[in-house]
Amino acid sequence: MAEDLVTAGIGRHGAERLPSVDIDSYNIELKDENGFLGDRASKGAFMDILEDWRKPLRKAGEDPFGDMPTDKISKKDLDKIMVGDDLAAAALVHSAIEEFARELAHVTQRFLKTKAWDKTEVIVVGGGFRQSRLGELVIARADIILKADGHKVDLVPIRHHPDEAGLIGCMHLAPSWIFQGHDCILAIDIGGSNIRCGVVETRQNKAPDLSKASVWKSQLWRHADDEPTREGAVKKLVKMLKELIGEAEKEGLKLTPFIGVSCPGVIDADGAIEKGAQNLPGNWESSRFNLPAELVSAIPEIDGNDTAVLMHNDGVVQGLSEVPFMQEHKHWGVLTIGTGLGNARFTNRRDKEKAEKKDKKDEKAEKKNGKKE
């Protein structure tokens, strides 16, 4: 009953089948003798590699970063170094890039060996790490390594800014009919450190496939700094949404009565989080907590219509922002490099249905020809 109220019959939370794609897998946790493979291709793993390269130089008194702790060096700092005049510092960073790219390629190969990721044609790489020259070089180098090893797969950076991809992807959770007569939706991207809310314009009049969708306005709250309770986090989230609703109304934008939510973890059909939400404030995996239901309770109506909420895994949603650009492929995936390594593999519904129809047509033709003979 609660699930029907929250989704209003438009879909299921954490669904395997979405309007445009089937989700073959997401949030896979591959392991080897050293632990979770995803930990080898995270932002923290890159900084650990950089630190390992600095250690011998530090002992010799030749560390180009001096006394600066590795965890205080930002992506912007590293980007500047790579185009600067300090060749020793640039070489050090490139050494870390090469090693991390090989780790990313290795982890990607392990995904490609799984049944769910078989025949993957393109892998989009998102996450905060991607939004830098450093990240782009890692992706490009890992792509070369994969091709050199004989893998027929393209590794490419996500098109939208990672901060916006998690909001734009929310549009692809709902069927297209829900956007008719409306300009935009509310979207939420929940992370281990931040919560971002935004108003996403569909711009369907310019591109019915949502390829022109863009974030009109957004708010960011770094909850890791405030260390709130779970209830406090939800209260702040609702406040951000209501402020955005007010701003959209003042601008004359017509909001769809729908809220898309991107959240870490494995999402159950009823909107509960089964596992993977350990970095969020408080216990979000409790059987007594349901974020979609909390949102509907706090915002029961949008533009005079009952509010519907759909929630899915953050890696899945970030990948969904690429749906309009992946139509020439049948199987594709997403990896998001952040605190961990988010992952999801998709099969385009349109191509899949066409292939199934073609197979049936060919089968009928074969039977017909067989009878004639």
3-state helix, strand, coil in the chain (%, to 5): 45, 20, 35
What distance lies between CA 341 and its chain's CA centroid?
A: 10
Annotate 342-352 with b (16+ C-beta within 10 A) or e (fewer): bbbbbbbeebe
- The neighbour count for residue 251, using CB atoms within 10 Å, is 12
Torsion over CA of 19, 20, 22 and 25, rounded to 10 degrees?
-110
pLDDT at 340: 85
Cα(300)–Cα(297) distance, integer angstroms: 6
Which residues does 263 contact at the CB level (< 8 Å), separation at least 6?
Answer: 188, 190, 273, 277, 280, 284, 291, 311, 312, 313, 314
pLDDT tier at 198, thresholds 50, 70, 90 = very high
**Residue 359: which pLDDT band, with cuts at 50, 70 and 90?**
very low
Task: Give the domain ranges of the chain.
Answer: 2-20+161-313
Q: Token pair of 116, please?
A: 């769910």
Nearest-angstrom CA–CA distance, 202 and 177 = 12
Residue 339, phi then psi, degrees to nearest 5: -60, -40
Contacts of 292 (CB under 8 A, 6+ apart): 6, 7, 13, 261, 271, 309, 310, 311
Q: Is 252 left (phi over 0), alpha (psi -120 to 50) or beta?
A: left
pLDDT band of 194, cuts 50, 70, 90: very high
Render the burial of 96-105: b for 16+ CB within 10 Å, e for the rest.
bbebbbbbbb
pTM for this prediction: 0.88
pLDDT at 294: 96
Cβ(210)–Cβ(171) below 8 Å: yes
Kindly report the CATH number that applies to the domain delimited by 2-20+161-313: 3.30.420.40
Whole-number pLDDT of residue 145? 98
For residues 366 and 245, what is the distance between their CA atoms, to the nearest angstrom? 58
Q: Are 334 and 343 in contact (CB under 8 A)?
A: yes
At 264-307, the pLDDT tens digits run 999 999 999 999 999 899 999 998 999 999 999 999 999 899 99
Give the model's pLDDT for residue 363.
Answer: 58
